[in-house]
Amino acid sequence: MKILLTGVAGFIGYHVAQALLARGDEVVGVDNLNDYYDVGLKQARLDQLAPHKNFSFHKINIADRGAMMPLAKSDAAHIVHLAAQAGVRYSLTNPYAYIEANLMGHTVMLELARQMATKHFVYASSSSVYGGNTKTPFAVEDPVEKPVSLYAATKRADELMSWTYAHLYKIPCTGLRFFTVYGPWGRPDMAVYLFTKAIMSGEPIKVFNFGKMKRDFTYIDDIVAGVLSSLDRPASGEPPAQLYNLGNSHAENLMDFIATLEKELGKKAQIDFQPLQPGDVPETFADIIPSVRDLGFQPKTSIAEGIPQFVAWYRKYHKS
């Protein structure tokens, strides 16, 4: 089948595109290649995809409806919408980027889905929507009315808008709440990348909340399997709108994560303990029972297996 995939030069988007192409699907990729982080890394991902005969690329900002709407003629039956302005802390300094990409961009994609009579609209949400919830593990039925960052607020708004389009226009919509995704080709603003770079360079790493943090670290291959499984199972019901957690369903102590990374790098970290940052939450932990039941989702990769694969890629990519 043909899939319109936004954020194709991003971390998750790149891996999803690789998996779709590997199974014989056609991918129409969209990305604006913005400079939130190293554009060279984004281009390097695209260079990996470009040789595939079933891959095409359009450099477009998803918030530009005039540029996006002609893609309705692409004959793509499905949309996987992963493009977004990511990052909790960046939302404190550049809020408008989140309004443009995550609100206007998401609205444009829903309108495009309506014009295309899309068979299934799968989109990226985030574990950030759970805000400061203290009940763990986080379940999709939990209240999420109190986001603690603008990023989280925009992602929750995306879920509500998608529900509305499913209600009004019967577009099957599935939102996927990702939990701290890591792995090869990952984002430079994420913890495993930042920590690896600093430790290898002999520089201190900032550890917030004085190390009293837990994260449901989820390896990229497990996330990709969940995305494809969701794509193949269009949302049903009235309205046809679903939400699922995609996480490893294990809250790792951040200090244990760092220790595993130190072991793989063969070098101790210099740790600069910091207080909890605005917008951050102390713990994330995914309840994946519905994902297992409905999607057959089965995360398989522990940090003991995933971190070495990231470090091997990092060394190769940076030739260090």
SS3 state at 125: strand
The DSSP line for 179-223 is --EESTT--TTSHHHHHHHHHHHT-EEEEGGGG--EE--EEHHHH
Active-site residue 151, yes or no?
yes
Write out the two tokens for 296: 């057959």
| 267: DSSP letter | S
Peptide bond into 234 cis (omega under 30): no
**Is 170:237 a contact under the CB 8 Å cutoff?**
no
Looking at 151, 182, 193, 314, which residue is catalytic? 151
User: What per-residue string of b and e applies to 80-105 under the rule 16 or more CB within 10 Å gives b?
Assistant: bbbbbbbbbebbeeeeebbbbbbbeb
| 275: DSSP letter | P
Which residues are known to be catalytic?
A: 151
